[in-house]
Each structure stands twice: as C-alpha cells, then as structure tokens.
C-alpha cells in the first residue's frame, strides 16, 4: 500500500481516537477536542490533500462504527472538510522569474494570509451546512435559548428578577440569538486556524514541511478582504435566515481580521525589551475576555489593511517612505 495512504489511515485513526476520548465539557476534554483535527492537518500539509481526505474518511468510518453514523457524519463535516481544503490550497505553488540557465527560478506559494481568510470562509460554511442539515433556524435557536433560561430560573430564582429588571427574558433571547451565529463561527475559525498553524510549525520543526512558512508577524491580507467583510456585515442585517448566515460569515471574517491584528501586534513589538510580557498579556486578554479583546484586534487588522501600518513603521525605522 502506498505510504501516502498509510499516513492518511494512521492520522485518521488517531483523530478518531481523540474524538472518542471527548466525554464531557471539562478542561481536559476541551483540550483534546481542540487537537482532534491536528493529525489530519499534519497528514495533509506534509503529503497533500488526498492524504488528508483519506484520513478524514477513515476517521469518519471509525467513529461511525464505534459511536454511530451521526457522529461519523458530524466528524466528516466539522473536522474533515477544512484540512482537506486548506492542505490543497497551502501546497499550491508556481514558478516565477528566471530565464533559462541564467537565473534561478523561484517558487511562489499560496499566500498564508489568504489561507487565514479561507479558515474563516470554511468555518462559516461548515456551520451553515451543519445548521441546514440539522434543521436549525432562528426559531429553533430562540426555543433552545428559552429552555436554557427556564432551567437557569429553576436553579437560580434570583436570575428571573435580574432579567426582568434588564428588560425581560425575551429581550435577552433576541440579543443572544443574534450573537450566536457569529460567536459559533468565530470559535470554529480560531479552531481551524490554530490547528493549521500548529501543524505547519510541527512539520517545520521536524524538517518535514512541504513548503516554507513565513513568520506569523508577516501575514498579509488582500485588499478585497475589506469588501468581503463589508458585504457580510450588510448581509447580517437581512431578515430571517439570510441574516443568520450573514452574521455567521461576518463573525468568522471579524475573527480573521483579529488574527491579522495580532500579527500586527507581533510586528509592532519587535525590539521591545518587554515584548514577551506584552504578547503574553495580549493572549491572556484574548482567552479571558474573548470578543472584548478580539474586536480591538480586528479594528487593528482593518487599519493595517487600509493604511499599511507595518509598512509605515518599517519605513520610519529605515528613514524611507512607505511603499
């Protein structure tokens, strides 16, 4: 059997074992769940999208036999699709420059910044497809939230009084129902990107990387990303399910811009004596406050794309003008 297939089968079985090890919502289980896609990403980024597809299929079949068909389908959609697509894109390349034997050809790899944007698009697409397959719509989201509030009221009677003082439960249900699609796709975007980047660094450290990976601080977005974000924000204002889908894509793209903002922060802190402390504080704020920290980073990413903050800073250091 081809060693590419063997690698895919092995990585798929490891992912299936990790998926089956998730039993509850404890911190350990959440950490295991976070690492479920990693073996498939490693397989795909080292050997190609076909190997990732073999891993995803083997993992889905193993979970289907071990847990149930629905779980296997969920694994294939939520875990398997992203590494297959991103592995294919990441290994795209083209030769540029060079004339015969007089100059060496250089290889241009698919830009990492575009991969980050694809992480957001894939996250929003997977969540949308999963919601459609599960029959989840605005009404079912509100019904689920209403049941949750009723359970909380039964366990914590003081919660009802607090809700009544702040406008009533229905107002909170509408507010949270509007946020839920964006928050869900945001979390999945982070999950996809972190696994992609972690797999790339594991392969780079081990010497098995199929392509070079630039430093995180050098991630760049195409300017069309701003137009895509504006379109998604407009779509989020549409009524009914169109608005839910728009909010899902908007949340994912805002998260992608937050990742770009974090890259700008990595670039801006170069040379600072307290760089490690500053970055550690930023990451602590992200994991502690989530959206409250991500929104300023997203604004920083938007400013970078609009005004070229890193180029201006580099030009200022060198005494030249930004290009």
* Domain spans, the chain: 1-110, 115-323
The predicted pLDDT at position 29 comes to 80
The predicted pLDDT at position 102 comes to 46
Q: Measure Cα distances from 94 to 97, 111, 204, 219, 256 in Å.
A: 10, 12, 21, 19, 26
The predicted pLDDT at position 126 comes to 93
Give dist(CA 271, CA 141) in Å, integer.
Answer: 48
Give dist(CA 190, CA 255) in Å, integer.
Answer: 7
CB contact set of 141 (below 8 Å; sequence gap of 6+):
177, 180, 244
The predicted pLDDT at position 321 comes to 44
pTM: 0.89
The predicted pLDDT at position 131 comes to 82
Contact criterion met (CB below 8 Å) for 262 and 221: no
Question: 92: phi > 0 → left, psi -120 to 50 → alpha, else beta; which?
Answer: beta
Strands 106-109 and 93-96: antiparallel
The predicted pLDDT at position 323 comes to 37
Token pair belonging to 144: 């689920």
CB contact set of 112 (below 8 Å; sequence gap of 6+):
213, 214, 219
Give dist(CA 138, CA 140) in Å, integer.
Answer: 6
Token pair belonging to 63: 């979970």
Give dist(CA 160, CA 157) in Å, integer.
Answer: 6
Helix locations, 101-137, DSSP H: 112-134
The predicted pLDDT at position 35 comes to 92
Give dist(CA 50, CA 114) in Å, integer.
Answer: 21
The predicted pLDDT at position 297 comes to 93
The predicted pLDDT at position 320 comes to 52
For each of the chain's 323 residues, which pLDDT tens digit applies?
577 889 999 999 999 999 988 876 777 788 888 999 999 999 999 999 999 999 999 999 999 998 888 888 889 988 999 999 999 999 999 887 655 554 556 889 999 999 999 999 999 999 988 887 777 777 777 788 777 776 766 676 666 666 656 556 777 777 777 788 899 999 999 999 999 999 999 999 999 999 999 999 999 999 999 999 999 999 999 887 888 899 999 999 999 999 999 999 999 998 888 899 999 998 888 888 777 788 999 999 999 998 888 888 777 666 554 43
Token pair belonging to 34: 């976070």
């Amino acid at each position: 059997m081809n060693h590419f297939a063997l690698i895919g089968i092995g990585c798929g079985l490891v992912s299936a074992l990790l998926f089956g090890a998730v039993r509850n919502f404890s911190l350990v289980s959440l950490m295991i769940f976070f690492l479920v896609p990693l073996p498939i990403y490693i397989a795909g980024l080292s050997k190609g999208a076909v190997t990732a597809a073999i891993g995803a299929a083997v993992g889905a079949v193993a979970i289907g036999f071990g847990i149930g068909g629905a779980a296997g389908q969920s694994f294939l959609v939520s875990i398997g699709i992203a590494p297959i697509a991103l592995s294919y894109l990441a290994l795209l390349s083209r030769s540029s420059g060079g004339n015969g034997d007089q100059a060496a050809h250089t290889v241009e790899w698919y830009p990492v910044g575009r991969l980050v944007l694809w992480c957001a698009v894939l996250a929003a697409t997977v969540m949308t497809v999963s919601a459609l397959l599960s029959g989840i719509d605005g009404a079912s989201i509100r019904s689920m939230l209403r049941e949750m509030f009723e359970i909380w009221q039964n366990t914590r009677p003081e919660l009802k009084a607090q809700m009544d003082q702040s406008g009533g439960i229905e107002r909170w249900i509408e507010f949270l129902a509007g946020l839920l699609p964006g928050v869900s796709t945001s979390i999945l975007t982070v999950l996809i990107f972190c696994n992609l980047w972690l797999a790339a660094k594991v392969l780079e450290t081990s010497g098995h990387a199929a392509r070079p990976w630039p430093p995180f601080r050098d991630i760049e977005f195409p300017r069309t990303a701003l137009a895509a974000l504006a379109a998604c924000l407009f779509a989020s204002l549409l009524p009914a399910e169109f608005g839910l889908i728009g909010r899902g894509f908007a949340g994912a793209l805002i998260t992608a811009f937050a990742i770009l903002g974090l890259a700008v922060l990595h670039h801006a802190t170069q040379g600072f004596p307290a760089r490690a402390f500053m970055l550690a504080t930023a990451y602590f704020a992200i994991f502690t406050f989530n959206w409250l920290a991500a929104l300023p980073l997203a604004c920083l990413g938007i400013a970078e794309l609009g005004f070229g903050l890193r180029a201006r800073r580099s030009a200022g250091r060198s005494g030249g003008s930004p290009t």
